[in-house]
Chains A and B, each alone.
Chain A
Amino acid sequence: MTLDRNLEAMLFAAAKPFTVARLTQMLDAEKDDVQIALDALAERLNVSGSGLQLQKNGSEYELVTRPECADAVAKVVNVEAQAELSRASLEALTILAYRGPLTRPELEQIRGVQSSIILRNLLLRGLIEQSEDMRLGQPVYSVTFDFLNHLGLSGVEALPDFEKLRGHSSVVDVLKQLESTSTPPPADPQAPNLHV
């Protein structure tokens, strides 16, 4: 199996994240094979005692150093002091990490309070990103590679109780209720057309 070796070398040399689709295209391979090779690479790094780990965010992959090596790496790279997170920021980040990507109204539905300022702060700090994938006419927010690096995580899936909280039936309920109540009413044919 040379595919996972090639992927390792490519991700090392490029020093930036790539989507599975982009890797598949560059390697001229089957997408399923690339995915299998990526999983194999992650596993090999985990069991071989490597100082690196494969990090996944959404459909993107990047090679990063293992959190256990943080002190050693700090000797050779500049590490900025990690400012504390406010309670509100922590809340929003947690929700986006476990349940993201989410639109702003979805996040607010869970937090019960308007969150545009928090979102803007987190965007400025580079811990979340806004993407153009619209849902219910709204852009969606998700955590960034930077966020994962701050915590030394290989992906959001590595968070405690990830599966349990992500699939939590009450979370699904709360979000579903939002979808049913926020559907815009059908256009009234009798209403005057304002977009002349």
Chain B
Amino acid sequence: MPVTFRVEHFEGPLDLLLQLVEQEKLDISQVSLATVADQFVEYVHQSTEIKLEELADFLVIASKLVYLKSKLLLPDLHVEDMEEGPDLETQLRTYKSFVDASRALDELWKSGARSFPRAKPAVIRAQASFQPPKDFTTDLMRELMLRVISRLVPLQSLPQAMIERVVTVQEKIGQLYSHIREKAKATFRTFVGTANSKQETVASFLALLELVKQRFLVVEQGTLFEDIAIEAHPEAPQNNPLSESFV
């Protein structure tokens, strides 16, 4: 689905999501969130505005959106890990109520309404010297230092994991499309023949489905599990399939 308008600026993933929902003139609901899921992913994919340290926050929301969309398509879907944590609809509603309140606060801030505390009476600054309270001991110092140190230790050390480099569906779309343009015809088996892993085969298959959906290719399969013949769609669009977003 192409992005039809641009959100110019956003403060974090919930802000982006809220702006997308509001631009579609929708209320916040499971359905409206699923509706803008593609656009959200597209923004995360293309935006140069997202800071690296915030990217994870965007991906968390993107994965929740994709899950939500999948659930609407497959009502029986239930992934324990994804059901954990706050549900996105509630989270966005809460966020919105504070965004609305912040507008009122901003007006008040700009209105010039101010209070002043009484000015501190002028005092003659005493010569600076070390005057510890009476009950101050070296034991107390030690305790305070330990408290400072304990705050530096992260609450829960994060599990370390290696992220395996997996070929993306985007890459496979590119490969498959240029393969067909060169050879005019191919079969799925010859195309995946070079795949190094199961993930890569899956990515190839998803790429094939996407290109069929976008009417770049047509496929034919005689019987179940037989090899799939692939060729270019007679009325294939001229643009590049990679310029289209997909989830």
Contacts and interface: CB of A to CB of B under 8 A. Distances in A.
A111 B14 contact: yes
Contacts of B120: 15-16
Given A70-B113, A87-B11, A184 B105 contact: no
Contacts of A159: 101, 104-105
Interface in B85-127: 85-86, 90-91, 93-95, 97-99, 101-102, 104-106, 108-110, 112-121
Contact of B115 (A66, A71, A97, A111): A66
Contact of A161 (B61, B93, B101, B121): B101
A117 B11 CA distance: 13
B239 interface: no
A139 B151 CA distance: 9
A14 B91 CA distance: 44
Contacts of B73: none
B46 interface: no
A128 B34 CA distance: 37
A159 B108 CA distance: 10
A170 B96 CA distance: 11
A113 B16 CA distance: 11
A77 B156 CA distance: 49
User: Interface residues of A toward B: which range?
Assistant: 35 or more
A70 to B, nearest CB: 4
A110 interface: yes
Given A67-B115, A149-B115, A181-B85, A97 B11 contact: no
Interface string A156-196: 00011100010010110110011001101100000000000
Contacts of A66: 115
What is the interface residue range for chain B against chain A? 35 or more
Binding site of B, secondary structure by majority: helix, strand, loop or mixed? helix
A82 B86 CA distance: 37
A149 B104 contact: no
A73 B116 CA distance: 8
Interface string A43-73: 0000000000101000000111111101101
Contact of A148 (B99, B112, B115, B119): B115
A113 B57 contact: yes
A27 interface: no
A42 interface: no
Given A15-B119, A110-B95, A149-B117, A90 B57 contact: no
B74 interface: no
A111 B61 CA distance: 12
A79 interface: yes
Contacts of B151: 139
B86 A64 contact: no
Contacts of B164: none
Contact of B116 (A77, A93, A94, A178): A77
Nearest to A65: B116
B109 A150 contact: yes
B12 interface: yes
A41 to B, nearest CB: 15
B8 interface: no
A114 interface: yes
Contact of A112 (B57, B93, B155): B57
Interface of A: 12, 15-16, 53, 55, 62-68, 70-71, 73, 77, 79, 82, 84-85, 87-88, 90-91, 93-95, 97-98, 109-114, 136-139, 145, 148-153, 159-161, 165, 168, 170-171, 173-174, 177-178, 181-182, 184-185
